[in-house]
């Protein structure tokens, strides 16, 4: 049987998502848990796969893994959700044998941007250039095998107390893409960059420009959506809002 598992974590407690030797990572801790309880023998044998590999410091209210196991869904979720862990496991779904969580319908990221000394109207206006299909070579850390052309379906804004909440929606994102976009928008909001400069670099991706990299801690992976619904532990769902509030509150202290 192949299952997909939905989970959350505070990214500040890990050295990133992907496994690294002698470092505590989200992926590494998940595999340890599954092996510890006998749900899998190892990552390779179980065809263990992840939806999103978040950067060090980036948190998630929803990330997804999938693996092959002989354990029932009920026992697996009950065992993992009761584990005293820095990872909150709260949803499960049986999936097709070939299911790979990387291929989601869309992803939703949220960034909490402090509004002090920023021109919000300019930021909102400049963000319009990023929606749609573009070559994001100037707004990502490029990997040789990854196509820099991506489509951002929507960028939404809400202002709440000391933060501008920026929500990004797309099927896929490049490495550092959102944090580099945010860095450019901050420069626009401070009057250090004109929004037309953003448009020029999107139209002419071969002209290299470094817009910098915004901090990782205010970024949260809010959701990864598929063409099916997960089965949830309803008691644990309430903890997601508490986790987001904890992360947001910590940002005010920085």
For residue 78, give Cα distances in angstroms to 40, 83, 115: 16, 9, 41
Chain CA centroid to CA 208, Å: 26
DSSP 8-state class, residue 192? S
65 sits in which H/E element: strand 59-68
Cα 57-129-108 angle, rounded to 5 deg:
40
Catalytic annotation on 55? yes
Q: Is 143 helix (H, G, I), strand (E, B) or coil?
A: coil
d(Cα 72, Cα 1) in Å, to the nearest integer?
9
d(Cα 5, Cα 72) in Å, to the nearest integer?
13
Asked whether the beta carbons of 90 and 229 are under 8 A apart, the reply is: no
Q: Select which of 55, 119, 135, 197 is catalytic.
A: 55
Would you state the structure tokens that stand for residue 196, as one six-digit string?
């037309």
Number of continuous H segments (helices) and E segments (strands) in the chain: 6, 10
Catalytic residues: 55
């Amino acid at each position: 049987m192949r299952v997909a598992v939905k989970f959350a974590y505070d990214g500040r407690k890990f050295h990133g998502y992907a496994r690294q030797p002698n470092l505590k990572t989200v992926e590494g801790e998940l595999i340890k848990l599954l092996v510890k309880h006998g749900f899998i023998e190892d990552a390779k044998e179980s065809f263990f796969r992840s939806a999103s590999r978040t950067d060090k410091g980036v948190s998630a209210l929803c990330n997804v893994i999938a693996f092959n196991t002989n354990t029932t869904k009920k026992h697996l979720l009950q065992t993992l959700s009761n584990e005293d862990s820095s990872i909150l496991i709260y949803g499960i779904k049986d999936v097709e044998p070939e299911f790979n969580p990387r291929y989601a319908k869309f992803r939703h990221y949220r960034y909490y941007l402090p509004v002090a000394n920023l021109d919000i109207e300019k930021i909102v206006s400049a963000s319009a250039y990023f929606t749609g299909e573009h070559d994001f070579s100037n707004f990502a850390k490029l990997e040789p095998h990854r196509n820099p052309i991506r489509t951002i379906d929507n960028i939404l804004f809400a202002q709440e107390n000391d933060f501008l909440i920026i929500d990004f929606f797309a099927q896929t994102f490049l490495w550092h893409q959102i944090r580099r976009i945010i860095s450019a928008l901050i420069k626009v909001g401070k009057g250090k960059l004109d929004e037309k400069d953003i448009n020029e670099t999107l139209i002419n991706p071969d002209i290299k420009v470094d817009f910098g990299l915004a901090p990782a801690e205010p970024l949260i992976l809010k959701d990864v959506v598929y063409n099916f619904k997960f089965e949830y532990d309803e008691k644990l769902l309430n903890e997601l809002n508490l986790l987001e509030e904890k992360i947001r509150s910590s940002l005010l202290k920085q």
